[in-house]
């Protein structure tokens, strides 16, 4: 009996993991498609990977994952791992913004 419950729990976790990977993949491809439509050259795309592509993927992924987690919660399915990944991606964006803000302060100090 316990083995059956463990197997069912593992299948639920695997399904949640698969949903997260699909959402991240689709989001990454959609954002890259937006950049390709913008006619970015390969050199521009190299710089855009760090300063445009990564933050956009993280923002869109966290929003989509939060929405998916709310849907999963409403349906009574597992959603904690989805919320964890959404929080991680939101944290990456926040850290990125703070680092750019601090770099701006260091580069252009306000004269007192």
Confidence of residue 5 (pLDDT cuts 50, 70, 90): confident
pLDDT of residue 44: 63
pLDDT of residue 66: 92
53, 31 Cβ separation under 8 angstroms: yes
53/55 Cα distance (integer angstroms) = 6
Domain ranges of the chain: 15-106
Mean pLDDT of 36-65: 74
Q: Is 0.85 topped by the overall pTM?
A: no
**For residues 57 and 87, which has the higher predicted lDDT (pLDDT)?**
87
Q: What angle do CA 37, 42, 46 make, to 5 degrees?
A: 105
Give 11-76 as a 3 state SS string. Answer: HHHHHHHHHHHHHHHHHHHHHHHHHHHCCCCHHHHHHHHHHHHHHHHHHHHHHHHHHHHHHHHHHC
Q: What is the pLDDT of residues 58-100, one digit of tens each?
A: 888 899 889 989 998 998 888 888 899 899 989 988 998 898 8
């Amino acid at each position: 009996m316990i083995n059956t419950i463990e197997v069912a729990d593992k299948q639920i976790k695997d399904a949640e993991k698969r949903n997260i990977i699909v959402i991240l993949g689709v989001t990454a491809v959609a954002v890259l498609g937006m950049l390709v439509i913008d006619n970015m050259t390969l050199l521009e795309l190299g710089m855009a990977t760090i300063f445009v592509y990564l933050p956009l993927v993280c923002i869109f992924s966290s929003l989509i994952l939060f929405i998916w987690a709310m849907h999963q919660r409403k349906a009574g399915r597992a959603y904690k791992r989805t919320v964890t990944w959404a929080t991680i991606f939101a944290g990456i964006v926040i850290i990125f913004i703070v680092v750019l803000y601090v770099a701006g302060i260091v580069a252009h100090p306000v004269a007192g």
